[in-house]
Structure 1
Amino acid sequence: MPDNAFDLGETADYETLAARFRPIFERIKAGAVQRERDRALPFEQIEWLKQARFGAVRFPVSAGGHGASIPQLTRLLIELSTADSNITQALRGHFAFAEDRLVAPPGPGRDAWWARFAAGEIAGNAWSEIGDVLLGETNTKVTPGEQPGTFYVSGQKYYSTGSIFADWVDLYAQRVDTGEFVIAAVDARDQGVTHFDDWDGFGQRTTGSGTSTYDRVPVPEENLIPFDTRFRYQTAFYQLFHLATLAGIAHAAADELAARVRARTRTFSHGNAPTYAQDPQIQQVVGEVTAAAFAAEAIALRAAEDVQRAYEAALADDPERDRQANIAAELATGKGQVVATNLVVQATSKLFDALGASGVRADAGLDRFWRNARTVSSHNPTVFKAKVIGDNAINGTEPVYVWAIGTSPQAGR
């Protein structure tokens, strides 16, 4: 194995690991409905997680982390998403950048990032642009400075998920001197960085996914990371976050539905039992929503096993094993999204069948489950995922691991 390999197993008992964070998850859950209603960004709640070094959960214990495997991380994310799925989405970019640094070759640069994350620092994400950017290109540029070894980055990003809460930004850019695409890891609090909470989607309203601008922000040369060295299983890792988020949303919806039915005193004259909680048709709806949550979690955890194997293959000196593991991880997360999306979107709509008109009152905030599930499921259209899966099943076509969005070169022709 290469010299950057370390213990690949589950180095912490899950219940012991989860016990560190469950009290924080409970505090996060307590204010989730109010934050959703007020569109109050969870700065304080993310700070709690930073202080607990949640962002270092994947790093070895010897490096100040918690030694979690990818399946263990997924279980934690499901629990966090049950408390507030917006926070899971806000941290998605951090965990992807941290994963890239986790499997990076050893050296002072890698060790510096490990130390930052072990100290509680987190990264945001800023890759996508809107407007006139061509597919496969980026308008965000890195320019050499006047002094040798100095660089500056300028541009504007949308969907800058989590950057408003972060210490660093994982910024996708292009060097003007070499044409190389890079990750420019920049200080999120630099005076040249401006964050806007202008995300206008009907769901995931407190994820900090708005616009960020970069005006000649300095970036050390060691923080210019060639994009073609990015960890290969990154797309599967990103999609695993969506699966965990969907599972958590379903669990939260099922829990709240059961609690509301249990506490309800009003019933209908044409119902099937003297109390609402005893009505078999209402029990059926609660059972269907609960079963959907169970299935969504099972899907996420099954996909996490394949992503874990891709991580292990990344640290092994076996290119064919690495290739096959990445194919399996990409297909597993894609299959999971195709199915889990329908399960959870339907379940979060079905819950209203058991609650009647009182369930749609704004103060209940039950619409947040459907809105957030529908929104998280729209980031990476499942129709394309299904196509990739089908093409592989029929023709053996290898999935595309990294893809982009932008204006088609054929637009207007």
Structure 2
Amino acid sequence: MTANAWILSGGFAALAMCGVPFAFAIAAAVIAVLTFSNIAPELLPQTMMAGTQSFSLLGIPFFMLAGELMSAGGLSKRLIALADVFVRHLPGGLGLVVILAAIVFSAISGSAPATTAAIGAIMVPAMVERGYSKAYAASLCVSAGVLAPLIPPSIAFIIWGVIAEQSIAKLFLSGVLPGLAMAGSIAAYVLWRARRDTNVERLPRATWPEIRLALRGGIWALLAPVIILGGIYSGIFTPTEASAVACVYALFVGFAIERKLTLRALPGLAIDAMKITAIVMAVVIVSNGFGVVVAQEQLAQKLAAGLLGAVESKWMVLLLLNVAFFLLAAVMDEVAIMVILGPVLIAIARQLGVDPTHFGAIIVTNVAIGMAAPPIGYCLFIGMAIARLSLWDISRAIWPQVLLMLGVLMLVTYVPAFSLALVR
């Protein structure tokens, strides 16, 4: 490798291992390369500015805000109450409530952290009260929360669509079946575990009056994904415009229907959404400079050629990519991985002849698993904070779910029709 390549890879890795935030570590590595190569230092701010000009990226702050508004407006509680009346009588009923509520909330917010926080804040205390262990309850909320990158509208698919220059609407569709398969595998684990757990209280079947009351209260929450996704696929609005529609809908329901939102609370909710958005966007924007230098050095093409030259089998290359992505996701921010390795991954996919939409489904499935994988999965830390657990306790509880998710990843990787069925 050239000196610039060593500075980019080794410099960034060293700074990240020292605890430097990823955005700053990326920027420092790029600045070092620019200085060493006598390239005009104006390149970095120019590429950072260019990285903010994508219309699709506007969907990220709006979906983040929509999640905050819907959680504060009471929609998450309505969703949980609605799921509760249908599955609470089954073995592990409250665990199934977590999964169902997370699927619907994911289809509203598109954000794994927002889904994990909204569902976990309510369900972890409720499950502990019914006899479930705190670690299991928290791990289940994290596992259900990370369905959001796969269930449209997904912020992870928006980011990958911008990086790979692919149709975001098609990428959304490619995540539906993998997301439902992941939810089904976790639900099967919940049912299996419930038969062994004798401390858990079984709840009675809901009566018809209870079901009618829950449906009446949850109808506005159920309408949200219908409006958002229906608008996207009917061509009424784009995925980015759908994020703004989601915010307007959340404001309407929170003020006019639930009447739990107040004008005084809005600035705080906006700030919370901005904080999460800033973390994501800082990495995305700074990584544009990283991508320019990578392109100059032709690192993507060289790495792709080296990997494909060493390993001829297509299925083995895909397996190695999945293993590498999982190991990186365990110690590195998922957005940073997508943005930094995007050019390399895309070059490899092209040379392998992998369908771009199918490859996007593989990448985002990896991202979803990474958000729950120890030791630094983002949603894992949210679960720790909600349940007040140590990293060791929640990591030990979540490994069975992570292994099931990896099984779904293998299905997505080696059966293209599985993720492309709805697209086609």
TM-score (norm 2): 0.26
Q: Which has the higher contact order (CA 8 A, sep 6+)?
A: 2
Structure (1 or 2) with the greater helix fraction: 2
Structure (1 or 2) with the greater strand fraction: 1
